[in-house]
Amino acid sequence: MSHRVISIYDKATGLLTGRTASGTELTDELADKHLRDGEPYVDGLHDHLSKRVNLKTAEVEDHQPPQPSADHEWNADMRGWRLRADVAEREARRRAALAEIARLEASQHRPLREAVLGLPGASSR
C-alpha cells in the first residue's frame, strides 16, 4: 500500500486547518475514526496559508487571506502577506535605536546622576 497524506479543513469555511494525517495504512475508515467530530479532509498535503477547499466542488483552490494591516502587501512568490519594505526598515531602525539607548544607559551611572539631580525615587534605586 502506498503512503497517503490528507489535509483537514473547516466544514463551515473550507479553510485548511494546517493539521494533516498520513500513513501507509491510512484508509477512509481509519481517518474518519481518528478525526474530531467528522472533520472533513481532502487528499494531499496543501498549504493552509494559501489554499482552501471549495465547499461546493470539494476541490482545493488558491486562497488569499485578508490583509492583516495596511502595513502588509501580498507577495505572489511567497504566496503570503509580508510587511512592506519601508515598514520593515522603519521597525529595524527603531529596534536598533532602542538597543543603542539601552547600551548607552547601561554604561552610565544613571541612578547616581538622578540622585544628584534630585529626581523623585532616585535615592531608593
Is 91 contained in some domain?
Answer: yes
**Residues 15 and 56 placed together within one structural domain of the fold:** yes
Q: Domain span at residue 112? A: 72-117
**Residues 54 and 82 placed together within one structural domain of the fold:** no
Torsion of CA 64, 65, 66, 67, to 10 degrees: -70
Please state the pTM of the whole predicted model: 0.60
**Residues 78 and 97 placed together within one structural domain of the fold:** yes
Instruction: Say which DSSP state 15 is in.
Output: B
- The answer to whether 83 touches 42, Cβ cutoff 8 Å, is no
**Confidence (pLDDT) at 124:** 66
**Parallel, antiparallel or unpaired: strands 72-75 and 51-53:** unpaired
Nearest to 49 by CA among 7, 2, 94, 21: 7
Is 124 contained in some domain?
Answer: no
For 66-120, the pLDDT digits (tens) are: 899 999 999 988 888 899 999 999 999 999 999 999 888 777 777 777 878 888 8
Per the structure, how many domains does the chain have?
2
Is 23 contained in some domain?
Answer: yes
Nearest to 38 by CA among 80, 10, 68, 4: 10
Is 36 contained in some domain?
Answer: yes
C-alpha cell at 33: 475514526
